[in-house]
Chains A and B, each alone.
Chain A
Amino acid sequence: MAEITYICKRTVVSTKPTQPGKCHSFSVLDHLMEKNHIRIVYYCKSWGEKEAGEITVSLRESLSEMLTHFPKVTGRLIRNEKGNWMIKCNDAGVRMVEARAKGSVEDWLKSVDREKELKLVYWEAMIHKPYFWSTFYVQITEFEEGGVAIGLSCFHLLADPICATMFLKAWADKTLGQKMVSPPFFHPLPPRRPINKTSNHKPYTDLINHYKFSIENSTPFLDANDTHTTITLSFSDHMVQACMDMVQPTSAPNKPNPSSPFEALAGLLWICISKVKGLNGLVNMSLCLDQRKILGLDKGFFGNCMVYNKVHSNGLEEHNFSQATKVIGEALEKMDNEGIMDLIEWLEHNDSQSHPLMNNCDLICASLETVEPYSVDFVGGFEPIRVSYYVEPVIGIGQVLIFRAPSYDGPLGRVVMVTLPKDEIVKLCEDELILHLSPRILMGVARNYA
């Protein structure tokens, strides 16, 4: 099997130094994600006949150029007067690890699992002196027989998976010599629009209650690597269509399908995971969605903008697919501008020092619908072979990430990455609903050779 040799670790800096003395503080949504980190892996085929190491050099140079636009990424963490984190934009740079792997990318992908994949994306936990700790890590692994794996890991305090993908997109654009499509901008979250302030305004308590519950009930942190594992399922266009059709109650065949691919797949997985856990009802689930559009922010907004909401499973019939999906749709509707504004205001008032692990209590189902990970093109004309997302650490019940599939899987195609305890994952793959839809298993469970 392909072995990875680490060549070196270095610091990559931007080509133009930033103005000294600039500082960047974080929003309340950022602070909640303090205990998490994100890892993304991109697999690309190699371009042209290049000597070993040349691809790494060209990627490193384009990264240097691109970092000029991301002063927040190259800065370092310091504490402000209130004791919260903030970034000092001192141009310290990001860490880059360079590695080589035997074999080709295609061979690797045939038998990859979570443990192996995580070796392609380097991450370092915060060190004793955070002032010297890099918040972003990039790993470039060149496969000897062709292909490149680009791994990005970052501290969730600074970015969510959406803007991390935009970061990679900007890097890819720079590598190909193109201009950035959505240049990043670093702003605090927008304040409430004044026209909406009415005198008899009832705050939406749903979101607030959910956050309150999560913060209070967050259990202490445990290392999840040994207990959980991740699989990747790829649902092509017609599979998702079939899934959405299953949601539609048979009594009204002519009504247009109200549910979206995310709702359908989230509902499907909710039911399957609940079955796998052996529960009578449905497991507690929270949805996590990108709110940039709802808050009126540009796609380039760099920071955390994903909000969680609980899906209420009380009073649902056991494992009824269409009902489950309907409830999901309702929860999604609750995440509107008003509700989020109320949530942000509440969080700002209740600014506590200890920031919990947000994805701790429930099954988290996150939608990364607003980005197209497969449109990030490092090579020039070729989509990446595969993209993987991890939001770590996952403890407790589990995590589901749903994002768009490559174009050959159609516009409705989706990739689902499920993280659950090891034994439950095996049962999930054998679940009848899932087998009925028969998605492609891109990354399965590690096979233990006895």
Chain B
Amino acid sequence: MSSSPTNKADGVQIHQTRILPDFLQSVNLKYVKLGYHYLVSHLLTLCLVPLMTMFIVQASQLNPNDIHQLWLQLQYNLVSVVIFSTIVVFGSTVYIMTRPRSIYLVDYSCYRPPSHLQAPFHRFMEHSKLTGDFDESSLEFQRKILERSGIGEETYVPEAMHFIPPRPSMAKAREEAEQVMFGALDNLFANTNVKAKDIGILVVNCSLFNPTPSLSAMIVNKYKLRGNVKSFNLGGMGCSAGVIAIDLAKDMLQLHRNTYAVVVSTENITQNWYFGNKKSMLIPNCLFRVGGAAVLLSNKASEKQRAKYKLVHVVRSHCGADDKAFRCVYQEQDDVGKTGVSLSKDLMAIAGGALKTNITTMGPLVLPISEQLLFFSTLVAKKLFNAKKKPYIPDFKLAFDHFCIHAGGRAVIDELEKNLQLLPVHVEASRMTLHRFGNTSSSSIWYELAYTEAKGRIRKRNRVWQIAFGSGFKCNSAVWEALRNVKPSANSPWEDCIHKYPVQIVA
């Protein structure tokens, strides 16, 4: 039944056929849920209140004689008192020492390439056509993918692809890596004033380009880091490697005190353009773009003053044990021998499955008790009474204020918006990053965070959830908590264009 205006000669008649009670019902449910949520979150406080009143009533009934008695008892049992207090002090010291150190995100910086590297649609199609490697159906396929990709006209492609014919070479790949990494790091160091000799840990992740000496060695060389820096270079780990790098840095910061860790997430496109005609391998050409981010982490207590975020959780889920998931994103040679990364048709389904695995682990860590109880009870009800109800999907909007979903492509963002029941404003950062910068692989979650900051939405104690998917198939999450109302740093990649966003993306 639908409402439709009917034009008759005597005027317009609008049939009111909507069933209102349905709407009312859902509104009532929403308030009930909220009330339940507040009740359970503050349960402890609510229980404490009667206890506190009891204690106060009792204490007021004590007279000075009783207190004097109490004091004499303690004096005679000096030994036990001393032993007791020693145990307490010792116990609390051990407890404090073994607690995990807080990891602070001091600042981060995303690289914005120079404007002459931009690749608007026409130029992309023109250069693709002029290479002569693509046949008509491949060109048409790439054009269709571009149009529906959600990518805008200002994304960046490496210099090697601006030549006719393109000139991918190792030297050009190194050049791209240097430009991106050093660009991001220069900005980061300028904004944070951290000295090179203070950096104790360096983690770099770049999936498709792994020269010798490594990219981390390139950074040590350029910035003259100290001799005993713990450097790591993660290669081949896909678009979710950014969170893996953060996880590694976090673990290293637990072992080494009072130091800084620099994490650089990037990808390299120069030597990884596919010049063949297999459709499943052409999609990365259309989506992947130049970008990179550098993050400064620290476990120094003094950094809490100026740090932006605190790392709360990192949850990593690997679906590689399943063969289908393993072959989902696969780099291989096509029939003619040209190398490319092929994406399988089940990508969305596998991503959905990986997400479910991740949030199952993550749920108990971050969801409020109210949601957990609901989920548990519906699960029990389903098992016991075999109810044909849909499984209860916990409302993650109660746990997090901001979402940074890896901008892998429009389909991924649409899928997650549906699965997690998010509102458009929650996925806006992801969509706009995809539009402005394309799929920058592991660094896209940082561009999205920068977008949210640039929009001035991050308030103190807001929680941010970064979700990254990658080959393997992996789904990794990082949860951050804002330590203050965060303002965007100087030279943010969104500085010059944030006023234009959000833009409406044409279907």
> Which A residues are closer than 8 A to B by beta carbons?
8-13, 15-17, 20, 61, 64, 76, 90-93, 95, 129, 131-132
Contact = CB atoms under 8 A, between A and B. Distances in A.
A129 to B, nearest CB: 7
Contacts of A131: 126
B245 to A, nearest CB: 34
Interface of B: 115-116, 118, 120, 122-123, 125-127, 129-130, 153-154, 162-164, 167
B129 A132 contact: yes
A11 B123 contact: yes
A76 B122 contact: yes
18 contacts: A8-B167, A9-B164, A11-B162, A12-B116, A13-B116, A15-B116, A16-B115, A17-B120, A17-B153, A17-B154, A20-B153, A76-B122, A91-B120, A91-B123, A92-B123, A92-B126, A93-B123, A129-B129
A91 B163 contact: no
Contacts of B163: 8-10
A67 to B, nearest CB: 10
A334 B391 CA distance: 90
A61 B118 CA distance: 14
A86 B211 CA distance: 48
Nearest to B163: A10
Given A9-B164, A10-B162, A10-B163, A17 B125 contact: no
Contacts of B129: 129, 132
B263 to A, nearest CB: 32
Contacts of A132: 125-126, 129-130
Contacts of B130: 132
Contact of A15 (B115, B125, B153, B154): B115
A313 B320 CA distance: 89
A36 B44 CA distance: 87
A12 to B, nearest CB: 7
A434 B148 CA distance: 68
Nearest to A76: B122
Nearest to A60: B116
Nearest to B114: A15
Between A15, A61, A95, A132, the greatest number of chain B beta carbons within 10 A of the residue's beta carbon is seen for: A132
A64 B120 CA distance: 15
B118 A11 contact: no
B127 A11 contact: yes
B131 to A, nearest CB: 11
Contacts of B120: 17, 90-91
B228 to A, nearest CB: 37
A124 to B, nearest CB: 10
Contacts of A76: 122, 126
Nearest to B126: A132
A13 B127 CA distance: 13
Given A17-B153, A129-B129, A95 B116 contact: no
B122 A10 contact: no
Nearest to A88: B122
A11 B128 CA distance: 13
Contacts of B167: 8
A20 B120 CA distance: 11
Contacts of A92: 122-123, 126
A93 B125 CA distance: 13
Given A9-B164, A16-B115, 14 more contacts: A9-B163, A10-B163, A11-B127, A13-B118, A15-B115, A17-B118, A17-B120, A64-B116, A76-B126, A92-B122, A92-B123, A93-B123, A95-B164, A132-B126
A319 to B, nearest CB: 52
Contacts of A12: 116
Contacts of A93: 123
Nearest to A95: B164
B122 A11 contact: no
A65 B413 CA distance: 37
A131 B143 CA distance: 15
B255 to A, nearest CB: 46
Nearest to B153: A17
A245 to B, nearest CB: 54
B188 to A, nearest CB: 26
A76 B130 CA distance: 14
Between B116, B125, B153, the greatest number of chain A beta carbons within 10 A of the residue's beta carbon is seen for: B116
A61 B116 CA distance: 9
A10 B164 contact: yes
B405 to A, nearest CB: 28
A128 to B, nearest CB: 10
A93 B116 CA distance: 10
A90 to B, nearest CB: 5
A91 B125 CA distance: 13
B115 A11 contact: no
A10 B396 CA distance: 49
Lowest 10 CB-CB distances: which A-B pairs, in order?
A132-B126, A10-B163, A90-B122, A9-B164, A132-B129, A92-B122, A10-B162, A15-B115, A8-B163, A64-B116
A131 B121 CA distance: 13
Contacts of A8: 163, 167
B499 to A, nearest CB: 16
B65 to A, nearest CB: 88
A13 B126 CA distance: 13
A95 B164 CA distance: 9
Contacts of A91: 120, 122-123
Contacts of B125: 132
A129 B125 CA distance: 12
A61 B122 CA distance: 21
Contacts of A61: 116
Contacts of A64: 116
A424 to B, nearest CB: 39
Between A8, A10, A17, the greatest number of chain B beta carbons within 10 A of the residue's beta carbon is seen for: A10
B438 to A, nearest CB: 16
Contacts of B115: 15-16
Nearest to B120: A91
A92 B123 CA distance: 6
A16 B116 CA distance: 9
Contacts of B116: 12-13, 15, 61, 64
